[in-house]
Structure 1
């Protein structure tokens, strides 16, 4: 692997990291990968574990999250059958599972971070620490919303998830796309690199190749339009030290326009099914 970019942890420690390019997979790998990753999540700046509403960008994030919950529950319903069983892996503070449960889904969630699990428990949504604590069952839908990039033992975790998916089930995975316009524009300041919490940085090619090894096939993709705006807002802060809302808005807009032509959006939802059950689309 060759050096692609040098960047740093802008949100917690300020430590420097390298991104190495796996040319075959078209995937970036964070180096070094710390042994104690938990320490890098112990910050109020890590908003997906805190439900923060403190800053203006926090409020934007939470507002977008409310819309996203509606979108996500609608999306999984389009792939549901009579067995509405859902596993959310990396469930954060549990809002998505709560929204799905209200829509009649039988839900289970895994969240390694203790603080996030405690916040979820306060909302009466009990999350499990790891896959081993799950009941021995398969699910119709498995979701990972901006989670895959965090998993230390990537291949083994994917294998476990595929085994938990019913043969006619669907897996939905949302990840940032390092080939997007905003990633190219912001370079080392691109907030979605988020090293070292993000250990892997995916492209459309890498998702297809990584999951093909486990008998999974991408049957559809969907852009996450709001991510380009939020990531650009954070990236502006990392680059200039200021929250330049107007510039971030236009960069996010440019990224989305570019994405409609190139299919390289800031973040992408990949919809996967077991390869022997799907046709090319």
Structure 2
């Protein structure tokens, strides 16, 4: 399989085992999950959904927890570069609130949005400024808005992008991290690639897609950064989905190989985009 996907059938390997299609939107150069369920809540209703839990009991949770501690430092270091115009931060899809807590220690005034009740309650217990949806924020503007592996979950994508960009202060910075379906690990694992995560992931982005979607709101990408840990974690899950069992050495090799090839192509497993108004 090349990156020129037109149609691919995959499954919700994580929970329901239902089949879904990935179809290419040629205008934006991204894949779209079809059908997109009207009731997405049921696909998150498990205590094992890792971004909605603080648990660290099984192997994957421990790996995720270790990587998260490292990436929290990296994320905070990144937003600190854009604090010149003010330090109000909105983290959309804040999960259980760890990033907000870390940013608060760096003197950011923090706000979060988290639609999942279980995760939101945990975030509120750590920091009070977490609401269920964007409409609860009123007319406030933010200096930095971040979405860490969130945009792929958003229904009504273009309308959501418009709402998010409208919340950003004039000289503000938008930071978005999403999986990259043109990465080597995606090409290798095909329909078993864990970052497709259908139907929780409704959209599957390329670098072109992010550029084109935000160009419509007069935003441009000023920096693109790799998320090198993601290839290892995604490969570990993908091996399980593909073979029904763990193969740690093979997964680690594939994660390494994906990053190695991305040193030349820049097509890392996940990418962080920094955007500003044109």
Normalised TM-score (structure 1): 0.95
Q: How does 1:265-280 map to 2 (within 5 A)?
A: 265-275=268-278
Query: Are the equivalent residues in 2 in contact too, given 1:88–1:142 (CA < 8 A)?
Result: yes
Q: Give the whole-Å Cα distance in 1 for the aligned partners of 2:56 and 2:245.
A: 19
Contact kept, 8 Å, 2:177 with 2:271, in 1: the verdict is yes
Which secondary structure does the structure 2 equivalent of 1:237 belong to?
helix
Is this contact kept in 1: 2:85–2:171, CA < 8 A? Answer: no
Deviations 1:91-146 (A, max 9, x none): 11100000000110001000111111111123244410011111421111000000
CA-CA distance at 1:159 after TM superposition:
0.5
Please give the secondary structure, in 2, of the residue aligned with 1:96: helix
Q: 1:188 aligns with which of 191, 195, 198?
A: 191
1:241 CA drift (Å): 1.3
Q: Choose 85-94 or 46-55, whichever is displaced more.
A: 46-55
Cα RMSD for the two superposed structures: 1.1
The structure 1 segments of at least 4 consecutive aligned residues displaced by more than 6 Å after TM superposition are none
- Secondary structure of 1:143's counterpart equals strand
Partner SS, residue 130 of structure 2: coil
Match of 1:216 in 2: 219
The whole-number CA distance in structure 1 between the counterparts of 2:134 and 2:184 is 35
Aligned length: 274
1:94–1:125 contact (8 Å) kept in structure 2: no
Tell me the residue number matched to 1:173. Answer: 176
Residue 153 of structure 1, CA deviation: 1.2
Structure 2: tracts of 5 or more residues without a match: none
TM-score norm. by structure 2 comes to 0.96
Q: 1:126 to 1:83 in 2, by over 3 A?
A: closer
Q: Are positions 1:148 and 2:151 aligned together?
A: yes
Q: Distance in 2 between matches of 1:92 and 1:238?
A: 25
> What whole-Å deviation, never above 9, does each CA across 1:171-209 have from its counterpart, x for those lacking one?
000000000000000000000000000000000000000
Query: Does 2:109 align with 1:109?
Result: no
Partner of 1:34: 37
* Separation in 2, partners of 1:233, 1:142: 30
For 1:62 and 1:212, how far apart are their aligned partners in 2? 35
Gaps of 5+ in 1: 276-281
